[in-house]
Structure 1
Amino acid sequence: METHPPIHSAQEADFNINELFFSITRHDSSIVSGNEVFVRISGYSKEELIGHYHNIIRHPDMPKSLFKTFWDYLKSDKAVVAYVKNKTKDGKYYWVLAAVFPLKERYVSLRIKPTSSLFAVARELYFKTLMCESREGIEAAEIFLSASLNDLGYPSYDAFMSDALLQELRSRQNLMMETLHKHQKFIVETQLDEMLERAYDHANNLKKIYGIWFEKIPLFSDINTMLNDKGQLLRELARDMIFLSLNASVSSYKVANGGETFGVLAQDIRLNVKENDTLVDELHTISTDLSKSLNNIIFSASAIHLQIEMICYFIEEILLRKVNDTIDTGNNIDLLATLVDEYVCKIDKAHKILASQISDAIKNLNRIERQVMYLGYVQIYGIIEAAASLDPSVDFEGIFTQLKILIKKTSEEVESIQKRMENFASENQALLQKSAETALVLKTFKREVIEISDLERCV
């Protein structure tokens, strides 16, 4: 097919907030299929799109360095999310948030209209990246993009794309609150229509079920933030106690009478504070792994939310007769349903790993609690000895008073984390149980999708 590059227009193409679209490509990016919204917005006919590479709609305003990151993820068999500016056949532009998922021999790309406050930040960042790319090349632009994301508070592109997906889905949900749950009146004329309507009802049921995970994302985020903040505070307190124990050791050598007793106490404090520091470091390691699991759940919950909504929207297109008869209905729904099933498995696996990590964290916190309690006994004995000391040259009472303050703060923080983690363990277990209970709904839906594919092949 011969194509001619259009003159790029400043006019934005018609893409509404309530619309969703998808495209399915081979690994070489050649287009296999897509829904009616994808075809309409592109301005091309379906025949012009199928078999052509996806770059037919690439806009020149997009940094090549961003696409390099995009393809690095896909070639590593990882899902990727990005803001993308596309062009239509007649040169108009439209922005999307694209979530692309590797699945078997295909890439499934789901797109929504971006509306969050992060979108404006991304547009400005893309412009600056494009300028850097034009001056210094793709490699320098990649470094610039990564550094810019760090400056925005994102330690990696993973963190940025997960937050972008979540923010855009929430923004869309808020803007469409009145229409998202509106009951549709479908045109049901054939056996295939009846089967599609049943599948639609089950898909909506799945959307409600897994909507629970989407609504729980603030909880996952809060736990993640709490572990990072409290963990950092515990590490600072542990380091302060180490410094104090060293101060006590040095001071014990300055005491003429009774220095041996203070020396033993200082050594005891130093050994136990070191053990406490080791336990806090272990908690940091556990928390880091736990944070990865939480981030996996947050991303998977967002992905499932979008995937199921795409299925519902696609079936609506068909039953409201908004599609042409060349759409490969059964295979497309089957591929989308398989994608949902894959991410449901991912989220279940992450929850099971999380349950083990929560248990390890609670055990570790209990050990820190016992260690701090023992330090408290040493501190009390030290205060008694300091009060009996007749040597005014060393302020042992001040040292042990400072230790008491540090022990009290550590104990309070540990107790706070323990309570949050125990409550979270119950929440996590409830979600695991809920997922097991809803497995039948997903299984029924998948069976209906297979029946739709079989019937379509027979027609």
Structure 2
Amino acid sequence: MPRIMNLETDPHDRFGDEVPFALHELFYSRTDPRGVIQAGNEIFRRVSGYDWSELIGAPHKIVRHPDTPKGVFRLLWDAIQKGHPMGAYVKNRAKNGGWYWVFAVLLPIDGGYLSVRLKPVSELSGRIQKFYSELSARERDETLDPEQSVAILRAQAEASGYASYTAFMAYALSLELAERDRQLRRAVDARTSMLGEMNEAMAKLTKEQIGLLRSFEALQSVPNNMRIVASRLEPSGGPVSAISENYKASSVVISERLRQFVAGRDNLCAQMAWQVARALFLLGCSRVLPEMNREFREEETHEKIDFAEERTLLAQLEVKGISDARAAMLSAADFAAQMTQQSRDIRRQMLGLDTIRVLGRVECGRMRDSSEGLSATIDQLDSFHDDIKSRLEAIMRLSEVVKHSLTRYLRLEQAAA
């Protein structure tokens, strides 16, 4: 499992008591594009402590708790405004000053946004609660703006082994769904288990990507070091100079290939990670929405809320979410296939560099006593080459795991349909 920050649970609260609600209960609310509440369910009304007359037409921030970092809301808002689903742990505040934690799933819809929220119970949720407490305190004490807070949140996701905050929240959602099923004594859902497996594979893939980039960057200085050594060994260093120039020239093509592969905003690894995270989050939503829809059948009618209309909307979103997730999974599978092929291509190109490296080792042996500096440089090349090839192998293997899991999930979905 990817490493999560070692944080304590149950932070001290500065306000009132926790407002209880049952594990099986789900919150629902729908807003207009400005975040003004248009509809909700009885659980939302009851736990928040407000009357419908106070909620309908009010901004959703009426339940915002100051212990939820501003950066969390900035991340949520940025995502849904761009048409992307997003999730987050959120601490809400009730009318009486009490508080309650939720994992919120937010979806953009025609005419606004929709949120379904569940009770977070995983081990991760406790750690995030402590992290939020510390970050919100920093926001106050250091007057951090939302963008600075966002940077800290993203760094936390990366430190936990994820390529993006979306990927981290997709992982969190899969954890919450699995633990919720366990505590409610529900049968293990194979699809939810697969979501967790794919998230872990993607986290490992991201780790290999970062390691590959670091080895690649370190490798760039070696040909220069070889030329410096060659200049000190003249005239016997003439062949070494030629070897270093050949190595540098041959590595230029690989350098560009590796940059496209692992560096920059639109690198192949990042594109695949984004598509997988989006697909996994949408698939997690497809678990939550039908349950929320079933809960609506027990809602009492209210003059300001047409619950039949809300049920229709949820059903439409469920169908759309599954379709969008399938499209994202197919795209991610295509990226996985590209990654496997490009890894193979780069590995073949590395064989050419290996040949030049061996020539350097031969020349080093010819010089004997005068080649101590050259020998150390060749040793560096040996180390970097081995590391790069090892990581390329790992990326190929993990890409195949992700592709296989995506394909297997699609088959499972088709069988269930």
Q: Give the TM-score taking structure 1 as reference length.
A: 0.71
1:297 corresponds to:
279
State the distance in 1 between where 2:389 and 2:319 align: 44
- CA separation of 1:10/1:369 partners in 2, compared to 1, >3 Å: closer, same or farther? closer
Aligned with 2:220: secondary structure?
helix
In structure 1, what is the equivalent of residue 91 of structure 2?
Answer: 84
1:174 aligns with 2:182: yes
Residues 80 and 108, structure 2, Cα contact 8 Å, conserved in 1: yes
Q: How far has the Cα of 1:335 moved from its partner? A: 0.8
Q: Please list, as runs of the form range in 1=range in 2, the aligned pairs for 1:338-417 lying within 5 A after superposition.
A: 338-387=316-365, 389-390=366-367, 392-395=369-372, 396-397=374-375, 399-417=377-395
Distance 1:354 1:50 in 2: 40
Is 2:115 aligned against 1:109?
yes
Q: How does 1:249-288 map to 2 (within 5 A)?
A: 249-256=227-234, 259-284=237-262, 285-288=267-270
State the distance in 1 between where 2:349 and 2:280 align. 34
Does the C-alpha gap of structure 1 residues 60 and 365 become closer, same or farther in structure 2, counting only changes over 3 Å?
Answer: closer
Q: 1:340 to 1:402 in 2, by over 3 A?
A: same
Instruction: Give per-residue Cα distances to partners, 1:276-309, cap 9 Å, x unaligned.
Output: 3333222202112222222212322222222233
Percent identity over the alignment is 20
User: Residue deviations 1:331-385, cap 9 Å, x none?
Assistant: 2221111111222122122112212212221222112211222222233334334
User: Does the 8 Å CA contact 2:85/2:281 hold for their aligned counterparts?
Assistant: no
Structure 1's 73 and 230: CA in aligned 2 closer, same or farther, altered over 3 A? Answer: closer
Distance in 2 between residues matched to 1:334 and 1:249, nearest whole Å: 71
Matched residue, 2:214: 236
Question: Residues 1-16 of structure 1: matches in 2 within 5 Å?
Answer: 10-16=16-22
Alignment-derived partner of residue 149 in structure 1: 153
Aligned to 1:26: 32
Q: Which runs of 5+ in 2 are unaligned?
A: 1-13
Q: Give how far 1:27 is off.
A: 3.3
Map of 1:4 onto structure 2: none
- Distance of aligned partners of 1:418 and 1:92 in 2 relative to their CA distance in 1, 3 Å threshold: closer
Separation in 2, partners of 1:222, 1:130: 28
The answer to whether 1:247 aligns with 2:225 is yes
SS of 1:336 mapped into structure 2: helix
* Whole-angstrom distance in 2 between the partners of 1:135 and 1:398: 50
Q: Which of structures 1 and 2 has the bigger CA Rg?
A: 1
Q: Distance in 2 between matches of 1:355 and 1:144?
A: 34
Question: Which residue number in structure 2 is paired with residue 457 of structure 1?
Answer: none
Structure 2 counterpart of 1:169, one-letter code: L
**Alpha-carbon contact 1:256-1:391 (below 8 Å) kept:** no
Q: What residue number does 1:324 align with? A: 300
TM-superposed CA distance for 1:110, in Å, is 0.9
CA distance in 2, matches of 1:160, 1:422: 21
Considering only aligned residues, what root-mean-square deviation do their CA atoms show, in Å?
A: 3.6
Q: Is 1:165 matched up with 2:173? A: yes
CA shift digits 1:393-440 (9 cap, x unpaired): 2344554455344433433332333233234333333334444555xx
Assess, with a 3 A threshold, how the Cα gap between structure 1 residues 257 and 132 changes in structure 2: closer, same or farther.
Answer: closer
Q: Distance in 2 between matches of 1:404 and 1:351?
A: 38
* Conserved 8 A contact 2:86-2:169: yes
* 1:131-142 superposed matches below 5 A: 140-142=144-146
Rounded Cα–Cα distance in structure 1 between residues aligned with 2:384 and 2:78 = 47
Contact preservation (8 Å) 2:194, 2:405? no
Q: How does 1:17-96 map to 2 (within 5 A)?
A: 17-43=23-49, 48=53, 51-55=56-60, 58=63, 61=66, 65=70, 69=74, 70-82=76-88, 83-88=90-95, 92-96=98-102
Runs of 4+ in 1 over 6 A off after TM superposition: 132-137
The answer to whether the Cα contact below 8 Å between 1:132 and 1:144 also exists between their aligned partners in 2 is no
Find the residue that maps to 1:23 and give its secondary structure: strand
